[in-house]
Structure 1
Amino acid sequence: MSNNAPRYLALVLSLLIVLPAAAKTPVATGRGGAVATISEQASQSAMTILNQGGNAIDAAVAAAATLGVTDPFSCGIGGGGFMVIYLAKDKRAVTIDHREMAPASTTPSLFMENGKEMDYTGAIASGAAVGVPGTVRGWHEALSRYGRMSFSQVLAPAIRVAKQGFKVNETFHRLSRENERKFQLFATTRKLYLKDGKALPVGTVIRNPDMARAYGEIATRGTKGFYTGPMARAITQAVNQPPAAAGVKVRPGNMTMADLANYEARIRAPIRSTYRGHDIIGMPLPSSGGVTIAEALNILEAYDLQSLPRANAEHLYLEASRLAFADRNAYLADPEFVDAPVAGLLSKEYATKRRAQMSTNRAAGKVAPGDPYPFQNDASVPLRPQAARLQAESAHTTHLTVSDKEGNVVAYTFTIEDWGGSGIVVPGYGFLLNNEMTDFDFAGPHPNVPEAAKRPRSSMAPTIVLKDGKPAFTIGSPGGATIITTVLQTIVNHIDFGMPMERALHAPRLSQRNDAVTDTEAGYVGGAHAKNLDKFGHKWGAKPEEIGAANAIVFHSDGSVTAVSEAARHSGGSALVQRPR
């Protein structure tokens, strides 16, 4: 180990005392720093770092690393993500894009066989589905640029959890059970997350010393511990020669050590828009979240939603989302490969044009994309992509949010894509690899087809909202393409309908993504709200499912904060503040 080894070891040992058991609560109000995640252990890790003098960026990385242990089917160092940071001293926002990237061998025909698109479900569980992971590089950029602590300090809580273990809860068991077939394909995954080929029972203690080893190497060697050397070789071998169970054949990938060594995170200017006196700060491309939410809010801004009957206002929310998604599906992709018409899509004048195409009393069904190019102030004659069907996008990610006593704020969404990603646990290192390549459109022509070194379009939408130049609240969620509608609906609930954030976040979710039907949660269809929307011609999806697992922080005028997580979704979340009221 390095010269920091004694301090690192002492810190790990001290955490055995520092992190006491605490009652899990989805809402907490008080002063100082705050955190909201879907995991009690992750929230405690963030709070430990805040209490040790770390800032919101340090605490966010600590929470994320712990989520990689306790919620490994949603996120981890085998994937990537998007972080939005508000720096209080400078009064500015930055974003860190550490989205997974296509290996250099990638071509647009990656998921084509005999001239036809591969089956989406079959494509997931393969080495070919794995993009070059960006999470560790993103954490490094966050810590080295904006944090105070080292990898060895912020990873210590997660190492403790990985070594000591955690108990399987109902959600973890259900996700394991639903993914048994995929996990059974890989020997390393069967060994870690199944018993006799079946999901581990509720209450089982899972320990992951291999993941502790992976974190330990990163704590000691930094990014080199992940992107070069033994761990990098293990990753490329797992991709190119997947550790399949006996008698199982899995499609290999083609990732090299150079792909890993050459990966770079991107510091990007955030998407900025306004809504009813608020400044909305979102994630730019290759995340489509910030642009799509801003466009939908621009469309809605002309309506006095608060004064309308609830059904009328919700109808407008659904139709604005429909229009924004039509544009999102047609135009948005990695900005290093596609000159997307972002300025046009964010234009208030363009929103006026789109709004004129929306009925205030009738659901439209599928709509065509608009033409934002005249609003680009661009004298060239750019290509106008053809509309495309909504590509399948798994709904399995995680979001966390942290603030500190100095006013710094982090909204962070990261993922390995499908539940359990590709299903491949890296031998000797205990983490799952993503299947992010399946976020590309399988066939073209389309802006989001696979290409070497390209980042697949995402829907992740970590968002920070300012009022009078100061943070007002944060919001973000997992959920694939439903992330966008969850964040959009929560903003409307909070700003337009005046709901306290806990009510805004806990309200039933409706997700319209330019489809013939709107997705809902269990128990919604047939209820009073649904019946009122039936009159507008809205149709509902056949299989209601839980939508998202959001987390938020609200900043009050008296200097106090309220952290909000889920009360019921995903087994409920954990909200903590440094000095509870």
Structure 2
Amino acid sequence: MHPVLRALSASLLSAGLLFTTTLPLQAAPRKTQTSSTAARPPGTAIASAHMLATDAGMEMIRAGGNAFDAAVAVSAMLAVVEPISSGIGGGGFFLLHDGRTGKDVFVDARETAPASATPAAFLDEKGELNRDRATNGPWSAGIPGLPAALVHVSGKYGKLPLKTSLAPAIRIAREGFEVYPRLERGYGSRREVMERYRGTREVFLADGTPPKAGEILKQPDLARTLELLAQKGFDGFYRGEVAARLLASVKEEGGRWRAEELSGYRVKEREPLHFKYRDWDVTTAPPPSSGGVAIAEMLQMLAGWDLSRLDAAQRTHVVSEAMRRAFRDRTIYLGDPDFVKMPVARLTSADYAAGLRATIHPSKATPSDLLPGEPAPLEDDETTHFSIIDAEGNRVSTTQTVNLLYGSGMVAPGTGVLLNNEMDDFALRPGTPNAFGVMGFAANAPEPGKRMLSSMTPSFIESKDKLAVIGAPGGSRIITEVLLGILGYDAGLNAQQVAALPRIHHQWMPDVISAEKGALDAQTVAALEAMGHKVNAGENPWGNLQTVSWDKRANTLEGGTDPRNPVGKADVLETSPRH
């Protein structure tokens, strides 16, 4: 059993969240609660996938900023120190809560399709999907959204100037940071693609050799780009010097972007999805994220069972069947709401979930036999997430990405900007799985200016006694990571236990339950197979969940960072007394 799973087995078993049944049961202690709840958190909690990013966020809090300033600093720093996962050449979703007004808003900074990216452009001479063009180089890249989000969140919601919030990222881009093993491994797996491009070689082969763990990676061109963003705001990236270099580099490598596609990019503020699960109010991502709709479907289906009373096999069965049905609807219905009419109200309704629940046989799997039963491609390094709560009651849940490892593999020379490969998240050829084994049809076909469907699922959950901010990377597995995390909070786990929960996944097609090593024991696997499930119970650990929580009765903050990622950090800064 993986050490993460072994350490948590006892407490998670008693909560009904761990799926194996081999170890003794031992209840996780709950915090002692007082008779009243606090009106505001006693300080700030930040959890992110890299310690330098968490520290940058806390630097903003100490400078008098709020959670939104911290979010800009964390996001920008992750763009510097996690090029394997995100960057200003990509996009993301910012779920925000304003503690003063009580308003929730979803800032959509998803990349958009250039006009040149028609479905035909991604087919080979036989009419099959050209996988290399879809995932590598300029054709795979959408128009970036993250720089616009940093400007928007800072200007509309923050207290500090953008130049202050970007200063830590600029400093580290110029001075460098220590390469960690995940960065080295990811480069090794993408080396052939990355070394095709002049700009990428200038960054990652600056000393003549690929990055090695322990070395210092400096990115002076990226520092200059961030400085222009800090000085000029939107125009510092989408117009002028940086834009000209981006357009020239895409053209040099055979792609086609237009200046007006860059200058015309805009973030969009959307209304988050809201629904109830037991005693929790859940606030989550709307389309073009598919995650919120899927979470609403799954949780409301699972509300019909007391999961803690089911044995391991039965619990895994019903959770997997809920996942299966939600992913089917994701495939068929969801896309960019500005281009596609979707039945979101119906898909997220309790009545619809009840109907789906009624189709779940208590002891038999529902076949998904339209694709071969092959394991979904495993993804654990792409995409990143951070969670923040501050003393003013503001909160931020942000997931950002360049899609696959190191995105398109292409850095635009002179900018330090590593371009995304998000075009693969479109249904480039209807019915053909993308890099994560997820299919799509007309609702998610590319069109000029359209945003590709995403699995990113930044979320808030709140009860009378507790508030949590949660999210994760993981491709299509983001959705099920967040689902299991919410179920963990509902079962009484703390933030760190939630971040380390063992994981299972089902995405309708391919028809297989994926599980981390040790998450399902042999007896449980045998029982699931007897029900008709195909089970892959030996996968390596995946994901990188980051979460923070506030216990309103004890008036304490906690952070949880995924132990699968050794460079992550959760930190709490108390700025007001507890009651």
Aligned twin of 1:150 = 161
Deviation at 1:182, TM superposition (A): 1.4
After superposition, the C-alpha distances for 1:84-127 in whole angstroms (9 at most, x for unaligned) are 00111111211100100011333232312235232434521121
Q: Which residue in the other structure is 1:435 paired with?
A: 421
More displaced 10-residue stretch of structure 1: 521-530 or 394-403: 521-530
Paired residue for 1:575, among 566, 570, 575? 570
The answer (yes or no) to whether the contact 2:528–2:535 under 8 Å persists in 1 is no
Matched, 1:65 2:76: yes
- The whole-number CA distance in structure 2 between the counterparts of 1:152 and 1:196 is 30
What is residue 531 of structure 2 aligned with on the other side? Answer: 536
Counterpart-to-counterpart distance in 2, 1:542 and 1:524: 7
Matched, 1:464 2:460: yes
Is 1:73–1:432's contact at 8 Å kept on the other side of the alignment? Answer: no
Are the counterparts in 1 of residues 48 and 570 from structure 2 also a CA contact under 8 Å?
yes
Alpha-carbon shift at residue 160 of structure 1 (Å): 1.2
Distance (whole Å) between structure 1 residues aligned to residue 344 and residue 528 of structure 2: 32
Matched position secondary structure for 2:328 = helix
Structure 1 position 42 matched with structure 2 position 53 = yes
Indicate the larger mover: 530-539 or 449-458: 530-539
Corresponding position: 1:95 with 2:106: yes
Per-residue CA distance 1:108-154 (angstroms, 9 max, x = gap): 32312235232434521121111000111111221122111121010
| Alpha-carbon distance, 1:518 to partner | 1.8
For 1:312, the aligned partner's letter is: Q
Match of residue 505, structure 1, among 484, 488, 499: 499
Q: CA contact under 8 A between 1:392 and 1:439: conserved in structure 2? A: no
Give the Cα separation in 2 of the matches to 1:180 and 1:42.
26
The equivalent of 2:366 in structure 1 is 364
Q: For 1:121 and 1:300, locate their aligned partners in 2 and report how far apart those are by CA, in whole Å.
A: 40
Which amino acid counterpart does residue 450 of structure 2 have in structure 1? Answer: K
Judged with a 3 Å threshold, the aligned counterparts in structure 2 of structure 1 residues 390 and 340 are, in CA distance, closer, same or farther, namely farther
8 A contact 1:323–1:367 mirrored in 2: no
The letter of the residue matching 2:291 is G
| Partner AA of 1:172 in structure 2 | L
Q: CA deviation at 1:348?
A: 1.0
Q: Is the 8 A contact 2:389 2:396 kept in 1?
A: yes
Stretch of structure 1 that moved more, 85-94 or 436-445: 436-445
Correspondent of 2:143 among 132, 141, 157:
132
Measure how far apart 1:393 and its partner are.
9.8
Whole-angstrom distance in 1 between the partners of 2:375 and 2:512? 13
Deviation at 1:456, TM superposition (A): 0.4
Q: Is the 8 A contact 1:184 1:197 kept in 2?
A: no
Alignment identity in percent? 35
**Is the contact between residue 177 and residue 198 of structure 1 (CA under 8 Å) also seen in structure 2?**
no
Name the amino acid aligned to 1:448: N
Match of 2:333 in 1: 331
CA contact (8 A) 2:88 2:144 kept: yes
> What is the CA–CA distance in structure 2 between the aligned matches of 1:328 and 1:75, rounded to whole Å?
24
Distance 1:537 1:119 in 2: 35
The Cα shift of 1:260 comes to: 0.4
Between 1:439-448 and 1:74-83, the stretch displaced more is 439-448
Deviation at 1:532, TM superposition (A): 5.1
TM-score by length of 1: 0.85
Amino acid at match of 1:399: H
Query: Which residue type is aligned with residue 512 of structure 1?
Result: H
Query: Which amino acid in structure 1 is aligned with residue 259 of structure 2?
Result: M
**Residues 191-230 of structure 1 mapped to structure 2, 5 A cutoff:** 191-194=202-205, 199-230=210-241
Match of 1:548 in 2: 543
Deviations along 1:180-212, whole A, 9 cap, x unmatched? 111121122123224787632211111111111
Instruction: Give the whole-Å Cα distance in 2 for the aligned partners of 1:70 and 1:521.
Output: 27
Map 1:551-566 → 2, pairs under 5 A: 551-557=546-552, 558-566=554-562
Asked if 2 retains the 8 angstrom alpha-carbon contact of 1:394 and 1:417, the reply is no
Distance 1:93 1:407 in 2: 12
Task: For residue 478 of structure 2, give the secondary structure of its aligned residue in structure 1.
Answer: helix
Q: Secondary structure at the match of 2:261?
A: helix
**Among candidates 256, 259, 268, match of residue 257 of structure 1:** 259
- Decide which of 465, 473, 482 is 1:487's aligned counterpart: 482
Letter in 2 for 1:507: L
Write the letter of the residue equivalent to 2:337. Answer: P
Gapped runs of 5+ residues in structure 1?
1-28, 243-251, 369-388
Cα distance in 2 for partners of 1:528, 1:65 equals: 46
The count of aligned residue pairs is 521
2:343 to 338, 341, 344: 341
Cα deviation code 1:18-73 (max 9, x no counterpart): xxxxxxxxxxx994111000101000000000111110011011011111111011
CA shift in 2, pair 1:234/1:115, >3 Å: same
Q: 2:124–2:130: 8 Å Cα contact kept in structure 1?
A: no
In structure 2, distance between residues paired with 1:535 and 1:393: 25
Asked if structure 2 preserves the Cα contact closer than 8 Å seen for 1:49 and 1:62, the reply is yes
SS of the residue aligned with 1:452?
coil
How many Å apart are 1:541 and its aligned residue? 3.6
2:301 matched to 1:299? yes
Deviations 1:459-481 (A, max 9, x none): 0000011214x861011000111
| Correspondence for 1:475 | 470
TM-score (norm 2): 0.86
Q: Which moved more, 1:223-232 or 1:502-511?
A: 502-511
1:545 Cα deviation (Å)? 3.4
Measured in 1, the distance between the counterparts of 2:176 and 2:206 equals: 16
Q: Which residue of 2 aligns with 1:17?
A: none
Measured after TM superposition, the shift of residue 78 of structure 1 is 0.3
AA paired with 2:234? T
Given that 2:122 and 2:133 are in contact with CA atoms closer than 8 Å, whether structure 1 keeps it comes out as no
Q: Which amino acid aligns with 2:502?
A: P
Which deviates further from its counterpart, 321-330 or 528-537? Answer: 528-537
Q: Is the 8 A contact 1:81 1:135 kept in 2?
A: yes
SS of equivalent to 2:97:
strand
Distance, in Å, in 2 between the alignment partners of 1:483 and 1:56 is: 23
Counterpart code for 2:44: G
Please say if 1:419 is aligned against 2:419: no
Contact kept in structure 1, 2:518 and 2:538, CA below 8 Å: no
- State how far apart, in whole Å, the 2-side matches of 1:276 and 1:193 are: 49
Counting only pairs closer than 5 Å after superposition, residues 138-177 of structure 1 correspond to structure 2 as 138-177=149-188
* Maintained 8 Å contact 1:111/1:123: yes
1:451 matched to 2:444? The reply is: no
Distance 1:526 1:306 in 2: 18
Take 1:367 and 1:229, find their aligned partners in 2: how far apart are those partners? 52
In the alignment, the residues of structure 2 paired with residue 457 and residue 188 of structure 1 have an alpha-carbon distance, to the nearest angstrom, of 29
Q: Point out the more displaced range, 45-54 or 106-115.
A: 106-115
Shift of 1:229: 0.4
Residue 471 to residue 197, structure 1, CA distance change in 2 (3 Å)? farther
* Pair 1:537–1:196, CA change in 2 (3 A): farther
Instruction: Indicate conservation of the 8 Å contact 1:549/1:566, yes or no.
Output: yes
User: How far apart, CA to CA, are the structure 1 residues paired with 2:386 and 2:527?
Assistant: 34
